[in-house]
Structure 1
């Protein structure tokens, strides 16, 4: 039996896959099986032909199947169905080219390094903060008072001057030097009266000083 006849018996195209062949064989085997057609010799013969066709296609080399398909299509080439060419439409004009203008950007200048006076002020403020951490209050007061003379209109200097006075007053309260503590508390209150948080703490310490005075 020729392979082309096998395809015909199984009712499948010549480019069918192995899975297609198996599905077709099972369908025809159930249809022509002798148990289903006991009194039909033609069905029994058909069943044998289906089995033989299935075995030949299954055992055939895949390369042979491809070659056979090529041979069959070479003899009877399929007619190519061409869809009608689309009507020409007005082509969409390409987007206009955007000319990118590259501007040279000068390196930004650090305002701190470019202003020696500003750099000096920031360095001195850092120095005051470090002295407060080390509890060197007397030295911190000397530095911040010198800064207030040099930068009388600087809010940063004013703030840290008030903070320094307040920190020193807290230390004086612990040492029992209530009169001195009261002096520096009033200084802090007068210097930075707009700082609500600081004003609240200073007034609270002033009340504490007054209470301690009455206890003596």
Structure 2
């Protein structure tokens, strides 16, 4: 399942904002919750699917125009990847990381601005620039788990793009870098495994 499929699962168009993702999930969760539909396996499966989609989209939904960023600091319980990932159930909890209290106001602004720019670069498939941006931020904030996650995401997205460009060896390098950068991200692992399966099937 790709990112667009997760949006569709919640009845949304690709690129919907974080507040739209939350609102749609709340509405559907009330409709399909097992407590509301006891003994209904179809409703239960739908609830599981929308919950998985919601958890994934928490990490990739666009910041709201009003500035509600699904800031990198939003800390969803389960993390994943911008624009492209998981089918396996996401069950990762964010490891202890550099907290906002450890960042100066300037660093916090730098991080937020970099996040917004990263989203745009990934959206328009400007992967080399996205990687340069996030690697620079990673050098500035080496202990920040969220920054590591974004860096891994950028690598995975670039690796996936390279598969389409038939640059197989380079794709493998970046996919491996993705999981090495954020090894505890189960959603990312699932997505990278899918990319490797695609490599095997196509090449």
Indicate the structure whose relative CO is greater, using CA pairs within 8 Å and at least 6 residues apart. Answer: 2
Pick the TM interval, shorter chain. Answer: 0.3 to 0.5
* Greater helix content: 1
TM-score by length of 1: 0.45
